[in-house]
Amino acid sequence: MAFRKITEGDMLGKGNVGRPDTPGVSTAEMQRIMDELPREVLAPIFNENIEELERLELDTAVKSTGIKAIRLNE
């Protein structure tokens, strides 16, 4: 599995983009709307990527990301 990018499709219909200036919803509904992107899109994809990173062995992670391991006190 590879790391997952957040796409426009993931965000489609989420959050307050495209809503009227006066949304005409309750406070609780507006709070839910404002929390849609972080709770339903960002956090799940972030967590998937963290789980994928944890599955990789250190050497594999270093090779696939281009990060160079630095060993101190050698």
Q: What does the alpha-carbon distance between residue 20 and residue 30 come to, in Å, rounded to a whole number?
A: 12
Q: Is 8 helix (H, G, I), strand (E, B) or coil?
A: helix
pLDDT digits (tens, 9 = 90+) for 16-64: 888 888 889 999 999 999 999 999 999 999 999 888 887 776 657 667 6
Which ranges constitute the DSSP H helices of 19-71? 27-36, 43-55, 58-65
Q: How far apart are CA 15 and CA 39, in angstroms?
A: 10
Question: What's the pTM value of the predicted model, to 2 decimals?
Answer: 0.66
